[in-house]
Amino acid sequence: MNGDPRLTTSVTIARGEEKSGGWRDLVEGPGEDYQERVPSGESLACLWHVSDVHLCDAESPARLEYLDRFGDPDSPYRAALGDIGTYRPQEILTVQVALSMVTAVNAIDRGPTTGREVDAVVLTGDLTDNAQRNELDWFGRIVDGGEIAPRSGSETESSWVGAIGTHRWDDRYWHPDGPPRGQEADRPTGLYGYPLIPGLVEAARRNVISSGLARRSIAVHGNHDGLLQGTVPPDAVTRALAVGSERIVGLDPTFSPLQTAQAIEQTGPGKYPTTPSSPRLTIVPDTGRDLVGPTDFARALTGQDCNYFSTDVGEVRLISLDTVNLNGGWQGSLDEIQFDWLAGQLADTAGRYVVIASHHPSPTLTNDYAPVGSGRRVLGAEVVELLLRHPHVIAWMAGHIHQHAALWHGDDVSGFWELTTASIIDWPQQARIVELVRVSDRGCPEIAIVSTIVDHAAAVDWGRDSLADPAGMAAVSRALSANDYRIRDGGAQGYVRDSTPTARNAVWRLPDPLV
């Protein structure tokens, strides 16, 4: 059930009319033109920008789904804890969505406005969801090509919280197969209109084949790639939990939900709210769920030990930063060694255009937590100040916030554009093509950054036959993401993760710093 990969300048995907419980099917909408006339000039680079894939082993016992209910719309703790994000109904379908995005990337192999061949696919972090070795292995097979078994534990029965049989019934989770006999519908179905899709849980566990990316891939380290749930540093207790046979399914009865904040804090130290009294159930253990170490991400994807590096892409130098604070917390920062390295890289590339790539955008580089003796952390304002001292920096590509956005740093004389691209686990499950072009159509030399948003290749609609192949399940995932009941506010377009047109199909300009 692959659709025909199309640019959002040709056709868009929108929410349709509201149905029972507020559910909205997805429909095709008109294309969204560029917000400014697209200039022609000398092409410097063409990059795919994909972010926040969140390949998720939803059966892992090292997850914290049970915390998510404290951020539900009717939770008395929502104001204090916010949108927690440790559970998503579509989390069992992340591999299928990634394959659908690979199809789109391979199908659109030239810049839509310059015709330049794609130079690289830049993946700006959170490529895995829970810093697990099996999730990292899945990612490697997706980008390089190979067979993926998107499951863990039992080969015959899912231990996901939305599966019937393994878990005690919990109506806070969506159960695609419906409730067991004698139980009422779960809350997502009964209150928010989620559909029943019998067989989805087992279909999502089937082996799939990736053709791999046809173009060079550049992987950037994200907080979910190095920290449990993107927040908590792995230790002996959590490593044992990940590979073991016990799954925590609720809070210690003596705990207040407010005591769980350390598991979802923006800054470190992070800690799981697990005690010997935490309720649990027995599942099948799996050593493949082992948690990664600080250098495992880089070794697996680049063959090196360091999560930051520089490389030439087209006619530009790309500098990839590691903004993960491995001391804990889901917001980012740099250590001083990396900051000094960045300063040296910028000084050495004064005659080249430079693009920065990181997981965290600069406004989220706020995590200054550092244990005593470990050295200070460098935050966003200091990084931006350094970059502005080097006018040949023209762009910064990031993810993390699961939303398209664009931010100008600088003045009328010099500066750079910072652009973030949405995730492919949450709505709108899109990526971006970035074309860098030298132009002079307005009478002065400029750099034009042309942005084009692309949906993954799955069809817009879905049906009972959607379980037959990964693309059909990717279509189901997109529909689930568009109907996230925790971020609805009653309006067709009023969802938190919707962005403005100026952050999507757009042309951003800056003075050419090398003339």
Q: Dump pLDDT digits (tens) for 179-206.
A: 999 999 999 999 999 999 999 999 999 9
Asked whether residue 5 carries a pLDDT value surpassing 90, the answer given is no
d(CA 38, CA 33): 10
Give the mean pLDDT of the chain.
Answer: 95
Task: Give the chain's count of helices (H) and strands (E).
Answer: 11, 20
Mean pLDDT confidence for 443-447:
97
Residue 165 confidence (pLDDT): 81
Dihedrals phi, psi of 105, to nearest 5 degrees: -60, -45
Per residue in 178-189, is it b (16+ CB within 10 Å) or e — as a string? ebeeeeeebbbb
**Bridge partners (DSSP) listed for residue 145:** none
Q: 71, exposed or middle or buried, with CB in 10 Å at 0-12, 13-18, 19+?
A: buried
Q: What would you measure as the largest C-alpha separation in the chain, in angstroms?
A: 74
Residue 84 confidence (pLDDT): 92
pLDDT confidence bin for 48, thresholds 50/70/90 = very high
The side-by-side arrangement of strands in the sheet containing 316-320 is: 309-313, 316-320, 353-357, 393-398, 415-420, 405-410
pLDDT confidence bin for 491, thresholds 50/70/90 = very low
Asked whether residue 494 carries a pLDDT value surpassing 80, the answer given is no
Percentage above 90 pLDDT, the chain:
91
Mean pLDDT confidence for 328-353:
98
Range 11-511 classified under CATH 1.10.10.410: no
For 95-114, the DSSP string reads HHHHHHHHHHHHH--B-TTT
Mean pLDDT confidence for 451-466:
94
pLDDT confidence bin for 3, thresholds 50/70/90 = low
What are the start-end ranges of the H helices in 218-325?
A: 223-226, 236-243, 296-302
pLDDT in tens, 259-281: 888 788 999 999 999 999 999 99
Cβ neighbours around 314 below 10 Å, total:
20
pLDDT confidence bin for 489, thresholds 50/70/90 = low
d(CA 23, CA 479): 9
Mean pLDDT confidence for 314-341:
98
Whole-structure pTM value: 0.96
Mean pLDDT confidence for 106-118:
98
d(CA 511, CA 92): 45
Asked whether residue 8 carries a pLDDT value surpassing 90, the answer given is yes
Classify strands 208-210 and 146-148 as parallel, antiparallel or unpaired.
antiparallel
d(CA 97, CA 138): 13
Residue 493 confidence (pLDDT): 39
Residue 212 confidence (pLDDT): 99
Domain boundaries defined on the chain: 11-511
d(CA 238, CA 233): 9
Asked whether residue 289 carries a pLDDT value surpassing 60, the answer given is yes
pLDDT in tens, 234-248: 999 999 999 999 999
Mean pLDDT confidence for 388-399:
99
Residue 430 confidence (pLDDT): 98
Q: 443, exposed or middle or buried, with CB in 10 Å at 0-12, 13-18, 19+?
A: exposed
Dihedrals phi, psi of 68, to nearest 5 degrees: -60, -30
Asked whether residue 1 carries a pLDDT value surpassing 60, the answer given is no
pLDDT confidence bin for 2, thresholds 50/70/90 = low
Nearest alpha-carbon partner for 395 in 250, 509, 235, 227: 509
